[in-house]
Amino acid sequence: MARTLTMRQAINEALDQEMARDQNVILMGEDIAGGQGGDGELDAWGGPLGVTKGLYHKHPGRVLDTPLSESAFIGAAIGAAACGMRPVAELMFLDFMGVCFDQIFNQAAKFKYMFGGKAQTPIVIRAMVGAGFRAAAQHSQMLTPLFTHIPGLKVVCPSNAYDAKGLLIQSIRDNDPVIFCEHKNLYDSQADVPAESYAIPFGEANVVRDGGDCTIVAYGLMVGRAMEAAKQLSPKGPKGGVECEVIDLRTLSPIDWDTVIDSVERTGRLVCVDEANPRCSIASDVSAMVAQECFKALKGPIRMVTAPHTPVPFSPVLEDLYIPSAAAIAAAVTKTMAQ
Amino acid sequence: MALAETLTRPPGGRAARKAGAIGIIANPVSARDIRRVIANATALQITDRANIVLRVLSSVKACGVSHVYMMPENGGIRHHVRRGIDRAENQGLDHFPKVEHLDYKISGTVDDTLRAARQMREMGVAAIVVLGGDGTHRAVVSACGDIPIAGISTGTNNAFPEHREPTITGLGVGLAVSGRVPPEIAFQPNKKLVVRVGDHQEIALVDVAVVTERFIGARALWRTETFRELFVTFADPEVIGMSAIAGLLQPVTRQDGHGLHVRLASEDDARLVLETPIAPGYLRRIGIRDYRAMPIRRKFRPEIGDGSLALDGERELAFNETDDVTIELVANAFRTVNVTACMHYAAQHGLMRNNQNLNQHSSGGSS
Amino acid sequence: MKTATKKKSAPAAFPLDRAGLLKAYRTMRTIREFEERLHAEFAKGDIPGFVHLYAGEEAAGTGIMMHLQDKDRIASTHRGHGHCIAKGVDPKAMMAEIYGKASGSCRGKGGSMHIADLSKGMMGANGILGAGAPLACGAALAAKFRGDGAVGISFIGDGASNQGTFLESLNLAAVWNLPAIFVVENNGYAESTSRDYAVAVDSYVDRAAGFGLPGVTVDGLDFFTVYEAAGEIIKRAREGGGPALLECKMVRMYGHFEGDQQAYRGKGEVEDIRANKDCLKMFSERVIEAGIIARGELEAIDRECLAVIDEALAYAKAAPLPKPADLLNDVYVSY
């Protein structure tokens, strides 16, 4: 039975259902319940944006508020995962990886390989990503490329509530470490979400719009912007004349090369959209792969639409400029179509 | 000494300025053993120890001690002491004596304490202030000869050093070494136990326990079923540790001309059972077979053939059937600064009165 | 109760029976032999990469691990061979791993610094200093959830004790009252830098106290001291008494890594360690002097350990190399 849920509710429901299914699933993070040790209400926050609200009382003893101590608790979650637990650790903002990155990329990511296949680390690290929240340079980054670069990690970034639930359930059941990126500007976005539990497999991109003229590859918040651009450019739209195929990558590692390549083989044109900074980004990664694999099919230059090579600015007027817009995506499509 | 003369002399006055150098041995690793886990013993932090040293330094300086030699250590005490002294110097204050650390390579073991005590004796310091527990004091006494010591309790059991604010210990030492308090009042003799296992000799300041364990291990004593015999120099019911057993049976003072020998037993064979604080917060039932005064200079031999000897609460020497083991009480073995006597003498004789700061009216109201 | 005490069973003179003492000696000797052999073989140039030897520190690892079972987990350091052997990892597989062979503990993918065997509770040597402390907290957390009385132990050197991960872990373990134990192997050197330079307060009991944990300092060269103290600390953690810290003061017989010329050492320091601070000698003298174990018995173990290492080395040298396809496998469980 599908209901309309926000992405926040969908994530909460995924956690709730997996905790009910498997006693080894535990949640850890700063203020994921909130109110610990104070005189007021417990589960006062349910996470800084209320995503985990209610789980503390539903699953006694399994929602662990942590000290502000990312190295220790992310590391402890990884250690517990190596010992048979399935921790879901909330890093709050992915930007905070700076203080615990060693535990993620030198420990969790490498155990399996470095120990000759004899270890597994089924941990999920949930974190908020993305700009638009007026949270400035240290709370707004799209750091997905950094994690995607590292063998041993899986990287997920849903664009809607339905995917968020299914991908999070898959992340929890997955036996590898998963970085689960939640765009803070999507928490209130709504979609039809089935009440029952379901998993969306990794490495399967979603073609959210069919079109024969140009492929647009995007993920996270950018999927919506790409759709908006596609609508503007569609023969029925205000700018008229181009049918874009929009691909939502959903998972960045593993990545669904087949869907992307198939699409470009048909359209002959590619626009890669990424909210991350441009250098060594998901956009540049996809562009390079397509250039290598679909060289003959390409009818025009691949174009990338990304954030500029700057930190995320604070002032709303600047931040709005920083985030790739539907207009910028449409302009890129037009530009590649012109050649 | 005329009252007028006393009153015109500032604390640590002319005579005090001639006070000889003293030594300070502050053990950075006392109060670190397993009793922090099996009992709930304190773990005095390094900065606290350094602050104690600074308090003692202020006190002895006020009494005219201008030079202090310290044991070198790498635990961190010296750094904090140095910061305190530097700050005072930067402020132009003359709060502290000149402090010099002895110059030798630090071993991080009890050898540092032994070496410091020996060097201080050779240098002829007027007294040694010791920060540590019973074990540290024992090490100092074994090497310091006739140099008087003043103990500050920073260890675990601490039956030997008296519990007192170190500022006062420092004042007592300062008054004693400056000659302001007559030596016969300032210093007192103490007993010790001499333990021989074959050719090897050790001492104990408070107690020697005979236990059945044949290894030294974590040193501390807490398995009461291994206890067999106990010899004490003095027995104070107000202290904890092995000597508390004797203290609760029959108190013996530090000045009495005898010690106490207690034979222990399992509860079934015991004549009486004693509830005893043998470690901090650690009360245990101890079975007592008998006890009797331990005379000076009589050699005792343990009743068991194999076991080990714990000196002042720490297993130190293992022995077996082939070893000749003796335990002997010795009187007038070493001197301590009698801080209580010094402070009372100081009060009675107005040694701490500073004429310059007093108006005539109040200066008249002395004893 | 009365009949039980009437039996007057003599209280144990040693904390371990003969078999236990022999086992402890065998473990320590195996570690020593393993490391001495690596020292010799490394000089020949046959061993890839770099190795950090545990020689001289055997009493600490062994004294602690004698109390552990497979369910208890340890997070080790870059100097992890001794921890591995004491925790029950197969020396043959270890040696093969150090030679980069396919039959190594990690199929030749980890090397000296990453030997692990989770089935033995060995969560890995670790090339990142201080990284093991949070992992051990995680192991302790998992044990707490399972309620199986297991403990998680983090080994850390005096150098890495300055890492934030270690200090954060002390706090986390205290906050969650985890059955976690932090063992500081204080061998006096952070690589080439003396602890006297790099550690402001060289008292790990103080650090523990700063986070509300009890701490104990022991002579890490004395097996019996470590064994007894570790036993009490581990028992306390198993009983729900919470985390604690054990500082073992010890020495490093060799350099930071093999090939280290050790110019930073004082004159005669290494010789003094060999002559007066050898934990194996100390152990042997104690048990022989006490008349519990004859010198001949220990010498027989020495020969057996030698044979074990001979065999391990021969096995490692003859073992097959990884295949090209191994480059790509075991990155993920599934991808």
Last residue of a domain, one of A194, A219, A234: A194
- What is the arithmetic mean of pLDDT over C135-143? 98
**What pLDDT score was predicted for residue C206?**
93
Task: Report the amino acid identity of residue B167.
Answer: T
User: Is A200 a member of any domain?
Assistant: no
**What pLDDT score was predicted for residue B158?**
84
- Asked if residue A151 and residue A8 are part of one domain, the reply reads yes
- Cβ contacts below 8 Å, chain B against chain C, sum to 114
User: Is A110 a member of any domain?
Assistant: yes
The distance of C335 to chain B (nearest Cα, Å) reads 48
The distance of A22 to chain C (nearest Cα, Å) reads 13
The distance of A294 to chain C (nearest Cα, Å) reads 23
- Asked if residue A233 and residue A101 are part of one domain, the reply reads no
- Helix axis angle for C279-289 and C58-65, nearest 10°, is 60
Banded model confidence at residue C11, pLDDT cuts 50, 70, 90: low
- Asked if residue A159 and residue A190 are part of one domain, the reply reads yes
The distance of C183 to chain B (nearest Cα, Å) reads 14
User: Measured between alpha carbons, how far is C200 from B75 in angstroms, rounded to an integer?
Assistant: 8
- What is the arithmetic mean of pLDDT over C277-303? 95
Reduced to 3 states, what is the DSSP secondary structure of residue A218? strand
- For tokens 């691949």, the residue is A302
Q: Cβ of C145 and A26 within 8 Å? A: yes
DSSP annotation of C251 reads -
Task: Enumerate neighbours of A (3 or more CB pairs within 8 A).
Answer: C
- Asked if residue A158 and residue A34 are part of one domain, the reply reads yes
Q: Distances from the Cα of C229 to the Cαs of A152, B32, B220, C246, C247, in angstroms?
A: 40, 11, 10, 8, 10
- What is the arithmetic mean of pLDDT over A309-314? 98
**What pLDDT score was predicted for residue A188?**
97
Task: Enumerate neighbours of B (3 or more CB pairs within 8 A).
Answer: C
Give chain A's contact residues with C (Cβ, < 8 Å).
24, 26, 64, 66-67, 69, 71-85, 87, 102-103, 106-107, 111-120, 151-152, 154, 174-176, 203, 254
Share of chain A above pLDDT 90, in %: 97
Q: Cβ of C142 and A175 within 8 Å? A: no
Q: Does C147 touch chain A (CB under 8 A)?
A: no
Q: Distances from the Cα of A23 to the Cαs of A33, A80, A88, B131, in angstroms?
A: 18, 13, 12, 53
User: Is A201 a member of any domain?
Assistant: no
The distance of B284 to chain C (nearest Cα, Å) reads 17
The distance of C160 to chain B (nearest Cα, Å) reads 17
Point out which residues pair with C218 in neighbouring strands. C248
C34-62 residues labelled b (16+ CB within 10 A) or e (exposed): bbbbbbebbeeeebeeebbbbbbbbbbbb
Task: Enumerate neighbours of C (3 or more CB pairs within 8 A).
Answer: A, B
Q: What is the pLDDT of residues B151-163, one digit of tens each?
A: 999 987 789 999 9
The distance of B112 to chain C (nearest Cα, Å) reads 15
Q: What is the pLDDT of residues B46-73, one digit of tens each?
A: 999 999 999 999 999 999 999 999 999 9
Banded model confidence at residue B5, pLDDT cuts 50, 70, 90: very low
pLDDT at A293 over 60: yes
Residue A242: half-sphere exposure toward Cβ, Cα within 13 Å: 28
- What is the arithmetic mean of pLDDT over B339-353? 95
The pTM (predicted TM-score) of the whole model is 0.93
Q: Which residues of C touch B46 (CB under 8 A)?
A: 201, 203, 206
Q: Which residue range(s) make up the domain with A161?
A: 2-194
Banded model confidence at residue C200, pLDDT cuts 50, 70, 90: confident
Name the residue among C109, C62, C123 with its Cα closest to residue C282: C62
Name the residue in chain B with its Cα closest to that of C227: B217
**What pLDDT score was predicted for residue B220?**
87
Q: What angle do CA A4, A10, A16 make, to 5 degrees?
A: 130
The residue annotated as part of the active site, out of A57, A59, A139, A149, is A139
pLDDT at B17 over 60: no
User: Measured between alpha carbons, how far is C316 from C103 in angstroms, rounded to an integer?
Assistant: 8
Cβ pair C94, C122 in contact under 8 A: no
Reduced to 3 states, what is the DSSP secondary structure of residue A213? coil
Neighbours of B78 (CB within 10 A): 19
Q: Which residues of C touch B43 (CB under 8 A)?
A: 205-206, 208-209, 214-215
User: Is A98 a member of any domain?
Assistant: yes
User: Measured between alpha carbons, how far is C163 from B150 in angstroms, rounded to an integer?
Assistant: 40
User: Measured between alpha carbons, how far is A226 from A213 in angstroms, rounded to an integer?
Assistant: 14
User: What CATH code is carried by the domain that includes residue A271?
Assistant: 3.40.50.920
The distance of B323 to chain C (nearest Cα, Å) reads 11
Point out which residues pair with A10 in neighbouring strands. none
Q: Cβ of B217 and C244 within 8 Å? A: no
In chain A, the number of structural domains is 2
User: What CATH code is carried by the domain that includes residue A126?
Assistant: 3.40.50.970
Residues 27-56 of B with CB under 8 A from C: 28-29, 31-34, 36-38, 43, 45-47
pLDDT at B361 over 70: no
- Asked if residue A162 and residue A69 are part of one domain, the reply reads yes
* Average pLDDT for chain B: 90
Name the residue in chain C with its Cα closest to that of B48: C206
Q: Cβ of A79 and C152 within 8 Å? A: yes
Cβ pair A20, A13 in contact under 8 A: no
**What pLDDT score was predicted for residue C291?**
87
Q: Which residues have C-beta within 8 Å of that of residue B212, sequence separation ≥ 6?
A: B226, B228, B304, B306, B307, C10, C11, C13
**What pLDDT score was predicted for residue B18?**
53
pLDDT at C4 over 70: no
- What is the arithmetic mean of pLDDT over A37-59? 94
- What is the arithmetic mean of pLDDT over A190-202? 98
Q: Is residue A139 flagged as an active site residue?
A: yes
Residues 94-133 of C with CB under 8 A from A: 104-110, 114, 116-119, 123-124, 126-128, 131, 133
pLDDT at B218 over 90: no
- Asked if residue A268 and residue A187 are part of one domain, the reply reads no
Q: What is the pLDDT of residues B281-301, one digit of tens each?
A: 999 999 999 999 999 999 999
User: Measured between alpha carbons, how far is C126 from C129 in angstroms, rounded to an integer?
Assistant: 7
User: Is A63 a member of any domain?
Assistant: yes
User: Measured between alpha carbons, how far is C50 from C38 in angstroms, rounded to an integer?
Assistant: 11
Cβ pair C157, C184 in contact under 8 A: yes
Token digits for A44? 């006062």
pLDDT at C278 over 70: yes
Q: Does C243 touch chain A (CB under 8 A)?
A: no
**What pLDDT score was predicted for residue B365?**
41
Q: What is the pLDDT of residues B309-334, one digit of tens each?
A: 999 999 999 998 999 999 999 999 99
Name the residue in chain B with its Cα closest to that of C207: B45
Cβ pair A120, C118 in contact under 8 A: no
Q: Which residues of C touch B45 (CB under 8 A)?
A: 201, 203, 206, 209
Reduced to 3 states, what is the DSSP secondary structure of residue C300? helix
- Asked if residue A175 and residue A84 are part of one domain, the reply reads yes
- Asked if residue A220 and residue A186 are part of one domain, the reply reads no
- Asked if residue A256 and residue A186 are part of one domain, the reply reads no
pLDDT at B16 over 60: no
pLDDT at B367 over 70: no
- For tokens 């090397």, the residue is C111
pLDDT at B366 over 70: no
Cβ pair C199, B28 in contact under 8 A: no
Cβ pair B247, B237 in contact under 8 A: yes
Name the residue among B172, B130, B173 with its Cα closest to residue B155: B130
Token digits for A92? 């709050």
Name the residue in chain A with its Cα closest to that of C154: A79
Q: What angle do CA C130, C135, C137 make, to 5 degrees?
A: 105
**What pLDDT score was predicted for residue B355?**
58
Q: Cβ of C135 and A82 within 8 Å? A: yes
User: Measured between alpha carbons, how far is C231 from A5 in angstroms, rounded to an integer?
Assistant: 54
Q: Rounded to 5 degrees, what are φ and ψ at C245?
A: -120, 140
Tell me whether chains C and A touch (3+ CB pairs under 8 A).
yes
Last residue of a domain, one of A161, A194, A227: A194
**What pLDDT score was predicted for residue B6?**
40
**What pLDDT score was predicted for residue C2?**
38
Q: What is the pLDDT of residues B75-96, one digit of tens each?
A: 999 999 999 999 999 999 999 9
- Asked if residue A183 and residue A225 are part of one domain, the reply reads no
List the single best residue of B214, B225, B308, B316 to mutate versus C (max C Cβ within 10 A): B214
**What pLDDT score was predicted for residue C10?**
53
pLDDT at C251 over 70: yes
Q: Cβ of B266 and C10 within 8 Å? A: no
Better-scored residue on pLDDT, B17 or C143: C143
Point out which residues pair with A6 in neighbouring strands. A190
Q: Cβ of C171 and A107 within 8 Å? A: no
Nearest-by-Cβ selection for A79 from C139, C145, C333: C139
- Asked if residue A152 and residue A299 are part of one domain, the reply reads no
Least confident of A117-121, B4-8, B234-238: B4-8
Nearest-by-Cβ selection for B266 from C5, C228, C290: C5
User: Measured between alpha carbons, how far is B323 from B199 in angstroms, rounded to an integer?
Assistant: 9
**What pLDDT score was predicted for residue B1?**
39
Nearest-by-Cβ selection for C118 from A113, A114, A119: A119
Name the residue in chain C with its Cα closest to that of A71: C165
Q: Cβ of C104 and A116 within 8 Å? A: yes
Nearest-by-Cβ selection for C206 from B34, B45, B74: B45
- Asked if residue A333 and residue A220 are part of one domain, the reply reads yes
Cis peptide before A254 (omega within 30 of 0): yes
**What pLDDT score was predicted for residue B294?**
98
User: Is A199 a member of any domain?
Assistant: no
Q: Are strands C180-186 and C244-249 parallel, antiparallel or unpaired?
A: parallel
Q: What is the pLDDT of residues C79-90, one digit of tens each?
A: 999 999 999 999
CA-atom Rg of chain A in angstroms? 20
Ramachandran quadrant class, B245 (left: phi over 0; alpha: psi -120 to 50; beta: rest): alpha
DSSP string, C72-135: SEEE--SS-HHHHHHTT--HHHHHHHHTT-TTSTTTTSS-GGG--BGGGTB----SSTTTHHHH
- Please name each of the domains of chain B with its CATH number: 3-190+334-358 (3.40.50), 191-332 (2.60.200)
- What is the arithmetic mean of pLDDT over C5-29? 79
User: Is A325 a member of any domain?
Assistant: yes
Nearest-by-Cβ selection for C202 from B47, B75, B318: B75
**ipTM exceeding cut-off 0.90 for this assembly:** yes
User: Is A186 a member of any domain?
Assistant: yes
Name the residue in chain C with its Cα closest to that of B224: C11
Q: Which residues have C-beta within 8 Å of that of residue C49, sequence separation ≥ 6?
A: C100, C111, C112, C113
Name the residue in chain A with its Cα closest to that of C118: A119
Name the residue among B167, B163, B145 with its Cα closest to residue B153: B163
DSSP string, A143-158: -HHHHHTSTT-EEE--
Q: What is the 3-state secondary structure (H, E, C) of chain B?
A: CCHHHHHHCCCCCHHHHCCCCEEEEECCCCCCCCHHHHCCCCCCCHHHHHHHHHHHHHHHHHCCCCEEEECCCCCCHHHHHHHHHHHHHHCCCCCCCEEEECCCCCCCCHHHHHHHHHHHHHHCCCCEEEEECHHHHHHHHHHHCCCCEEEEECCCCCCCCCCCCHHHHHHHHHHHHCCCCCHHHHEEEEEEEEEEECCEEEEECCEEEEECCCCCCCCECCCHHHEEEEEECCECCCCCCCHHHHHHHCCECCCCCEEEEEEEECHHHCCEEEEEEEECCEEEEEEEEEEEEEEECCEECCCCCCEEEEECCEEEEEECCCCCEEEEEEEEEEEEECHHHHHHHHHHCCCCCCHHHCCHHHHCCCC
Token digits for B303? 């009743």
Last residue of a domain, one of A140, A170, A194: A194
Share of chain B above pLDDT 90, in %: 79
- Please name each of the domains of chain C with its CATH number: 14-256+268-319 (3.40.50.970)
User: Measured between alpha carbons, how far is A128 from B64 in angstroms, rounded to an integer?
Assistant: 67
Reduced to 3 states, what is the DSSP secondary structure of residue C269? helix
Q: What is the pLDDT of residues B245-266, one digit of tens each?
A: 999 999 999 999 999 999 999 9
User: Measured between alpha carbons, how far is B191 from B213 in angstroms, rounded to an integer?
Assistant: 27
Q: Does B297 touch chain C (CB under 8 A)?
A: no
- Specify the DSSP element, H or E, that contains A26: strand A25-29
